[in-house]
Amino acid sequence: MRKRPAQRRALATFDTLLDATAQLLNEIEFDDLNTNRIADRAGYSIGTLYAYFPDKQALVRALALREIQRSGEKLDQLIAQHQADSVEPLVRALARTMIAFFAGRTALRRRVIVVVGLDATLHKEIEVLVERMTDRLLDAVRANRDAIYPERRFLLLRTMLWPVRLATLQAPHLLQSPAFENELVTSTTALLLPWIGTAGGQGS
């Protein structure tokens, strides 16, 4: 990015440019995307676009970062609403939220996944989000997050997230399958259950 928006009007311009990028990515191939098309779709001059972004890669990267941040906000809200005595419903709600996020505008999601995979900074953002959500999940189900061993902690949300990402890239029809959702819920719940209600005990 050339500059970061701070005032309300600049933030609105920034978001409009990213919205236009998202719309076009869902309609056309990445090679056909260019800054002129984005500026035209957003209703701004090319000069306004270049005031924020040097090229289309910077726009797509900023879009991917926004998608990561928005997904984190949704998961935060979901966990905050959780009732501590109901583990499986929380895990299922998390699975449905992740599936719904990737199932919407599948072409766009595929391109965002590819961009994230090639960008070390964006990949780090994903990892920070997953670690934070893992802590939130363990706290929500009253598990001792300091006692859970690293291998299981690593798998908890990734057991759900990575299959959804792979399905988006390789088998999008699975995102509409109740059986796929059930498998995600079963595997994640199995990783969690030995730690529920433990004050410091060891899971299996």
- 19 & 44 share domain: yes
- 50 & 145 share domain: no
The arithmetic mean of pLDDT across residues 123-142, rounded, is 89
Per-residue model confidence as pLDDT tens digits over 13-57: 999 999 999 999 888 888 899 999 999 999 999 999 999 999 998
Domain extent for 5: 1-54
Task: State how many domains the chain has.
Answer: 2
- 100-115: b or e for each residue (b if 16 or more CB lie within 10 Å)? ebbbebeebbbbbbeb
Asked if residue 106 belongs to a domain, the reply is: yes
- 99 & 184 share domain: yes
- 154 & 90 share domain: yes
- 33 & 116 share domain: no
Give 144 or 48, the one with higher predicted confidence. 48
**Which CATH number does the domain housing residue 12 bear?**
1.10.10.60
pLDDT given at position 120:
82
Confidence of residue 134 (pLDDT cuts 50, 70, 90): very high
Confidence of residue 1 (pLDDT cuts 50, 70, 90): low
Asked if residue 202 belongs to a domain, the reply is: no
Please name every residue paired with 143 in a beta bridge, in sequence order, or none if there are none.
196
Asked if residue 157 belongs to a domain, the reply is: yes
pLDDT given at position 85:
62
Dihedral in degrees, nearest 10, Cα atoms 180, 181, 185, 187: 10
Asked if the model's pLDDT at residue 141 lies above 60, the reply is yes
- 29 & 49 share domain: yes
Per-residue model confidence as pLDDT tens digits over 181-199: 999 999 999 998 887 764 4
Write down the pTM of the prediction: 0.78
